[in-house]
Structure 1
Amino acid sequence: MTPTATYRLQLQPDFPFSAAEAAVPYLAGLGISHLHLSPVLEAMPGSAHGYDVVDHGRVRAELGGEEGLRSLARTAREHGLGLVLDIVPNHMAAAPRHNRALWEVLREGPASPYARWFDIDWDAGGGKVLMPVLGRRLGDDLAALRVEGRTLRYGEHLFPLREGTETLPLPDLLEAQWYRPAWWRLARTELNYRRFFTISGLIGVRVEDPEVFDATHAKILELVRNGVVDGLRIDHPDGLADPEGYLYRLNEATGGCWTVVEKILTRDEHLPATWPVDGTTGYDALHRIDGIFTDADGAEELARAYRDFASPAGDRGGYWGATVRRAACKVVTHELAAETEALARIAERVCAGDPALRDHAPWALRTAIRELLVRVPVYRPYRIGGDAVLTADAAQRAKAVFAVADEAEAVDVIRDLALGQLGEGPDHGAFRARFAQTSSALHAKSVEDTAFYRYAPLISANEVGGDPGCPAVSPEDFHAYCGRIARDWPTTGTVLSTHDTKRSADVRARIAVLSECPERWERVLTGLAWVQAPDHHLAWVAWQTAFGFGIPRPDRIGPALLKSVREAGLHTGWTEPDSSYEQAVSDFVEAGPTGPPMYTLALFARELDEHARANALGAALVHLTMPGVPELYQGTEHTYLALVDPDNRESFREQRPDEKTEVTRAALLLRRRRPELFGELGTYAPVEAVGPAARHCLAFCRSGEAVTAVTRLSLRLDEAGGWGETSLMLPDGRWTDLLAPGREFAGGGPVALSELFADRPVALLERAADAEDTEE
Structure 2
Amino acid sequence: MTPPIATYRLQLQPAFPFAAAEEALPYLAGLGVSHLHLSPVLEAVPGSTHGYDVTDHTTVRRELGGEAGLRRLAAKARESGLGLVLDIVPNHMSASARHNRPLWEVLRAGPSSPYASWFDIDWAAGDGRVLLPVLAGPLGTEADRMTVEGDVLRYGETRFPLREGTAHLPMAELLDAQWYRLGWWRLARTELNYRRFFTISDLIGLRVEDEDVFAATHAKVLELLHDGVVDGLRIDHPDGLADPEAYLRRLNTATGGRWTVVEKILTGDEHLPADWQVAGTTGYDALRHIDGLFTDPSGTSQLHSLYRQFTGVDDDLGGQWEPTVRKAAYRVLTHDLAAETEHLVRLARRICAAGGPELRDHAPWALRLALRELLVRVPVYRPYRVGAASVLPASAAAAAKAAFTVAEESAAVDVVRDLALGLLGDGDGPDSEATPDPDRERFRARFAQTSSALHAKSVEDAAFYRYTPLLSVNEVGGDPARPSVEPAEFHAFCSRLARDWPATGTVLSTHDTKRSAEVRARIAVLSECPDRWAALLDRVAGVPAPDPHLAWVAWQTSVGLGGAAETERIGGALLKAAREAALHTGWTEQDAAYEKALSDFVAAGPGGQQASAVREFAQETEDAARANSLGAALLHLTMPGVPELYQGTEAEYTALVDPDNRRPVPFDPAALADPGDKLGVTLAALRLRRELPEVFGPASSHAPLTARGPRAAHCVAFCRAEQVVTAVTRLSLRLAESGGWTGTELVLPDGVWADVLTPGRRFSGAVELDKLFAQRPVALLRRVAPEEGEGPG
Change (3 A) 1:223 1:770: farther
* Residue aligning to 1:244: 245
Write the mapping of 1:382-393 to structure 2, written as runs, cut at 5 A: 382-393=384-395
Write the mapping of 1:691-702 to structure 2, written as runs, cut at 5 A: 691-702=709-720
1:61 maps to a residue whose letter is R
C-alpha distance in structure 2 between counterparts of 1:223 and 1:538, whole Å: 48
* Residue aligning to 1:21: 22
Contact 2:318/2:463 (8 A) holds in 1: no
1:415 maps to a residue whose letter is R
Change (3 A) 1:772 1:614: closer
* Residue aligning to 2:427: none
C-alpha distance in structure 2 between counterparts of 1:296 and 1:472, whole Å: 6
Contact 1:395/1:412 (8 A) holds in 2: yes
Match of residue 412, structure 1, among 399, 414, 418: 414
C-alpha distance in structure 2 between counterparts of 1:106 and 1:771, whole Å: 76
What is the CA-CA distance between 1:314 and the residue it aligns to? 6.8
C-alpha distance in structure 2 between counterparts of 1:652 and 1:687, whole Å: 37
Indicate the SS of the match to 2:126.
coil
What is the CA-CA distance between 1:650 and the residue it aligns to? 1.2
Contact 1:9/1:652 (8 A) holds in 2: no
* Residue aligning to 2:702: 684
2:417 maps to a residue whose letter is R
C-alpha distance in structure 1 between counterparts of 2:645 and 2:781, whole Å: 21
Match of residue 762, structure 2, among 733, 738, 744: 744
C-alpha distance in structure 1 between counterparts of 2:483 and 2:126, whole Å: 45
Q: Note the alpha carbon deviations across 1:478-511, whole angstroms, 9 max, x for none.
A: 0000000110000000000000000000000000
* Residue aligning to 1:764: 780
* Residue aligning to 1:123: 124
What is the CA-CA distance between 1:769 and the residue it aligns to? 3.2
* Residue aligning to 1:60: 61
Q: Note the alpha carbon deviations across 1:79-125, whole angstroms, 9 max, x for none.
A: 11100000000000000100000000000000000000000000001
C-alpha distance in structure 2 between counterparts of 1:221 and 1:77, whole Å: 19
Indicate the SS of the match to 1:406.
helix
* Residue aligning to 2:381: 379
Q: Note the alpha carbon deviations across 1:328-355, whole angstroms, 9 max, x for none.
A: 0100111000000000111111101112
* Residue aligning to 1:642: 655
C-alpha distance in structure 2 between counterparts of 1:493 and 1:109, whole Å: 42
1:508 maps to a residue whose letter is R
C-alpha distance in structure 1 between counterparts of 2:116 and 2:267, whole Å: 35
What is the CA-CA distance between 1:665 and the residue it aligns to? 0.6
* Residue aligning to 1:401: 403
* Residue aligning to 1:232: 233
* Residue aligning to 1:533: 545
* Residue aligning to 1:611: 624
* 1:502 counterpart = 2:514: yes
Contact 1:15/1:652 (8 A) holds in 2: no
* 1:517 counterpart = 2:529: yes
* Residue aligning to 1:754: 770
What is the CA-CA distance between 1:530 and the residue it aligns to? 1.1
1:268 maps to a residue whose letter is D
Indicate the SS of the match to 1:381.
coil
C-alpha distance in structure 2 between counterparts of 1:637 and 1:211, whole Å: 42
1:750 maps to a residue whose letter is A
What is the CA-CA distance between 1:652 and the residue it aligns to? 3.2
Which piece of structure 1 moves more, 537-546 or 654-663? 654-663
C-alpha distance in structure 2 between counterparts of 1:455 and 1:430, whole Å: 35
* 1:106 counterpart = 2:122: no
C-alpha distance in structure 2 between counterparts of 1:28 and 1:289, whole Å: 27
What is the CA-CA distance between 1:528 and the residue it aligns to? 1.3
What is the CA-CA distance between 1:768 and the residue it aligns to? 0.5
Write the mapping of 1:469-618 to structure 2, written as runs, cut at 5 A: 469-550=481-562, 551-618=564-631
C-alpha distance in structure 1 between counterparts of 2:630 and 2:209, whole Å: 44
Contact 1:125/1:192 (8 A) holds in 2: yes
* Residue aligning to 1:668: 686
* Residue aligning to 2:676: 658
What is the CA-CA distance between 1:654 and the residue it aligns to? 2.1
Question: How high is the sequence identity, in percent, across the aligned residues?
Answer: 69
Indicate the SS of the match to 1:334.
helix
Q: Note the alpha carbon deviations across 1:363-420, whole angstroms, 9 max, x for none.
A: 1011100110000010011121111111111111110000000000100000010001
Q: Note the alpha carbon deviations across 1:656-702, whole angstroms, 9 max, x for none.
A: 43110000010001111111011110000101100000000000000
* 1:714 counterpart = 2:732: yes
Indicate the SS of the match to 2:781.
strand
C-alpha distance in structure 1 between counterparts of 2:341 and 2:407, whole Å: 23
1:760 maps to a residue whose letter is R
C-alpha distance in structure 1 between counterparts of 2:550 and 2:698, whole Å: 46
Indicate the SS of the match to 2:9.
strand
2:629 maps to a residue whose letter is A
C-alpha distance in structure 1 between counterparts of 2:734 and 2:788, whole Å: 44
What is the CA-CA distance between 1:772 and the residue it aligns to? 11
Q: Note the alpha carbon deviations across 1:424-473, whole angstroms, 9 max, x for none.
A: 42011000000000000000000000000001000000001101122100
1:712 maps to a residue whose letter is R
2:779 maps to a residue whose letter is A
* Residue aligning to 1:7: 8
* Residue aligning to 2:173: 172
C-alpha distance in structure 1 between counterparts of 2:575 and 2:512, whole Å: 17
What is the CA-CA distance between 1:649 and the residue it aligns to? 0.4
Write the mapping of 1:338-353 to structure 2, written as runs, cut at 5 A: 338-353=339-354
Which piece of structure 1 moves more, 380-389 or 496-505? 380-389
C-alpha distance in structure 2 between counterparts of 1:463 and 1:342, whole Å: 31
**What RMSD, in angstroms, separates the aligned Cα atoms of the two structures?**
1.0
1:739 maps to a residue whose letter is L
* Residue aligning to 2:256: 255
Normalised to the residue count of structure 1, the TM-score between the two structures is 0.99
Q: Note the alpha carbon deviations across 1:155-186, whole angstroms, 9 max, x for none.
A: 12100001111011011111111000001000
Change (3 A) 1:470 1:361: same
C-alpha distance in structure 2 between counterparts of 1:378 and 1:199, whole Å: 21
C-alpha distance in structure 2 between counterparts of 1:766 and 1:217, whole Å: 43
Contact 2:22/2:77 (8 A) holds in 1: yes
Gaps of 5+ in 2: 425-430
Contact 2:315/2:323 (8 A) holds in 1: no
* 1:466 counterpart = 2:478: yes
C-alpha distance in structure 1 between counterparts of 2:788 and 2:146, whole Å: 83
Which piece of structure 1 moves more, 346-355 or 56-65? 346-355
Write the mapping of 1:179-328 to structure 2, written as runs, cut at 5 A: 179-313=180-314, 316-328=317-329
C-alpha distance in structure 2 between counterparts of 1:578 and 1:309, whole Å: 24
C-alpha distance in structure 1 between counterparts of 2:48 and 2:311, whole Å: 38
Contact 2:130/2:180 (8 A) holds in 1: yes
C-alpha distance in structure 2 between counterparts of 1:107 and 1:212, whole Å: 19
Which piece of structure 1 moves more, 64-73 or 521-530? 521-530
C-alpha distance in structure 1 between counterparts of 2:114 and 2:614, whole Å: 61
Gaps of 5+ in 1: none
* Residue aligning to 1:359: 361
C-alpha distance in structure 2 between counterparts of 1:195 and 1:693, whole Å: 52
Which piece of structure 1 moves more, 762-771 or 539-548? 762-771
C-alpha distance in structure 1 between counterparts of 2:323 and 2:119, whole Å: 36
Q: Note the alpha carbon deviations across 1:287-334, whole angstroms, 9 max, x for none.
A: 000000000010111011100100002752310111100100100111
Contact 1:41/1:58 (8 A) holds in 2: yes
Write the mapping of 1:72-83 to structure 2, written as runs, cut at 5 A: 72-83=73-84
1:754 maps to a residue whose letter is D
